[in-house]
Structure 1
Amino acid sequence: MKLVCVALFSLFFQIISFAVVSEGQKINDSPVIGVLAQEVYSPSPGKNAYIAASYVKYLESAGARVVPVMINRTEEEYTILFRSINGILFPGGGASIFSSSYAKAAGIFYKLALEANSKGDYFPVWGTCLGFEQLTLLTSGKSLLSRTNTSGVALPLNFTKESKDSRMFKDFPEDLMTSLANEPLTENSHQWSLTTARFSGNEKLRKFYQILSTNTDGQTEFVSTVEANDFPIYGTQWHPEKNAFEWTHVYIPHSPDAIRTTFYMAHFFVNEARKSLHKFPSQKEEQNALIYNYQPTYTGKKSSFEQTYYFD
């Protein structure tokens, strides 16, 4: 019993330490994060766009509420929503990073985030898998992706020296960092990757991001985790949300350290969103925008997602 109490106290101390922010900084204890929807491959009435429920659970597990960011809205509508939410997540999926409504919306929010952060208005952006690829395109202005054999595999992270002092990883427990470096805890579901060679060869990417981890498919080394140097913009080619909330494939890791990885990644990004002081004009508008107004559908028998939110 004594050992259990010590372990629980240690974990509690880690969590409290992990949430520490700069002295005097205003903190938003009710962060609302947007998750960008994307086109359904075969649309049907009432199912023209979707968000995997695992992204919603992922953010909620760390104390955020979620607003679905619908596709095919005007730039004015996106700008109004931008001023109301405290961060945005570009999820994985199969939409085009060039011509889709997902790509168009992501481009608008990326531009708004750059403008806001340049003026001291903190607004974090996260890209997972497809979202990571979208960020590399938005930053570089060109497609630099290469085919890799990484569709359905869990991998350890090859951390760079920059990861130790990075905003993302600097407060992770040392034992978890060791596990991430030695065990296959990060699930990959992508056919395209940004190779380290192409990253290094692009001046815009080199100046904007620092590489925190790389991976390889056995032949090609690719970038797997980045954070921007001067902006709260982050990306993972792997899926931190799947470990705890998706059970549709056997290669998704569910070990205790895999679950801790999900928690600490979510906790980091939600704490970034706490630094944003955006808010909805009224409580009613906030309530009407939240994901709670929609019901997820069980799709685990025929999809990569256990549950999916569908939208008109």
Structure 2
Amino acid sequence: MTSLSFCVFLLCLPFYSSASTNDRPIIGVLAQDLRTPRENYTSYIAASYVKFLEAAGARVVPVMINKTAEEYKTLFNSINGILYPGGSASIVSSGYQRAAKIFYEWLLRLLLTRTNTTAVALPLDFTDEAKGSRIFKGFPAELMEDLASEPLTDNSHKWSVSMLTYNTTEELKNFYKVLSTNTDGDTEFVSTMEAYDYPIYGTQWHPEKNAFEWKKPHYPHSPSAIKTTFYTGRFFCQ
């Protein structure tokens, strides 16, 4: 059994805003499956987690396992954060895992904005941070010029992290530097980023499709597009 041995805090509302400090937070604590369930007793929340949050000024509500999506949605919209306790509950197959996944996926949606980018190749609008970035360090200067002027990056997504969300979310700004952006004509969004202090990288575009996929007509296959696949892959494998 794969279990979680540490606790995780997730902020739900309003995670991505610059709202002032909330002096009356409501925090959910996720229940865990019992190893040996009994009749009418299948899950538990350790009192120490409740006291821990109450001591910091929060009001605490239980988030029970095996509830409906509708019940979880109502709760999600009513709390300011949720704590996932550590323990022996499986993070692969359990009521704890299923509920945790639901709340985590809903939280991610708060960070995302719908964009019209399901089938389009775009050039990259590089930021000043790209010049000293790790991910683009090994790219030839000529290829960087082509990436900035030619549609060499495939975009096949409906959701993006908008620059508005990035600029108003201190957690994102302090952790990631934006290396390039793009726009669908209405919304500017992050297209390449890397963490300041950790080997964590993200591209909203698909570097692998240029050289190896042919299903969609917008996939770029020019010599520079193929080089983009190679240099991006080489960076990740170094």
TM bucket normalised to smaller: 0.5 to 0.7
Q: Secondary structure at the match of 1:190?
A: strand
**How much has 1:141 moved relative to structure 2?**
7.0
- The letter for the 2-side match of 1:74 is T
Alignment match, 2:2: 74
Residue among 186, 190, 194 paired with 2:161: 194
- The letter for the 1-side match of 2:120 is V
Alignment match, 1:185: 152
TM-score between the two structures when normalised by the length of structure 2: 0.55
Identical-residue share of aligned pairs (%) = 60
Structure 2 counterparts to residues 115-154 of structure 1, below 5 A = 143-154=110-121
- The letter for the 1-side match of 2:2 is T
Bigger radius of gyration among the two:
2
Alpha-carbon distance in structure 2 between the residues aligned to 1:184 and 1:141: 28
Matched, 1:159 2:126: yes
Alignment match, 1:116: none
Runs of 4+ in 1 over 3 A off after TM superposition: none
Q: How many residues align?
A: 138
**How much has 1:209 moved relative to structure 2?**
0.3
Alpha-carbon distance in structure 1 between the residues aligned to 2:179 and 2:193: 5
**How much has 1:230 moved relative to structure 2?**
0.4
Alpha-carbon distance in structure 2 between the residues aligned to 1:252 and 1:172: 21
Alpha-carbon distance in structure 1 between the residues aligned to 2:200 and 2:119: 26
Alpha-carbon distance in structure 2 between the residues aligned to 1:255 and 1:163: 23
Segments of 5+ residues of structure 2 without an aligned counterpart are 5-103
Query: Would you say the 8 A contact 2:138–2:235 is kept in 1?
Result: no
- The letter for the 2-side match of 1:212 is L
Provide, for residues 110-129 of structure 1, a one-character-per-residue CA deviation record: whole Å limited to 9, x for no partner: xxxxxxxxxxxxxxxxxxxx
Alignment match, 1:262: 229
Provide, for residues 4-40 of structure 1, a one-character-per-residue CA deviation record: whole Å limited to 9, x for no partner: xxxxxxxxxxxxxxxxxxxxxxxxxxxxxxxxxxxxx
Alignment match, 1:228: 195
TM-score between the two structures when normalised by the length of structure 1: 0.42
**How much has 1:75 moved relative to structure 2?**
4.7
- The letter for the 1-side match of 2:119 is G
Alpha-carbon distance in structure 1 between the residues aligned to 2:151 and 2:157: 16
User: Which structure has the higher relative contact order (CA within 8 Å, separation 6+)?
Assistant: 1
What CA RMSD, in Å, does the superposition of the two structures yield over aligned residues? 1.9
Segments of 5+ residues of structure 1 without an aligned counterpart are 1-72, 77-136, 272-312
Q: Secondary structure at the match of 1:143?
A: helix
1:149–1:179 Cα change, 3 Å: same
Query: Would you say the 8 A contact 2:113–2:162 is kept in 1?
Result: yes
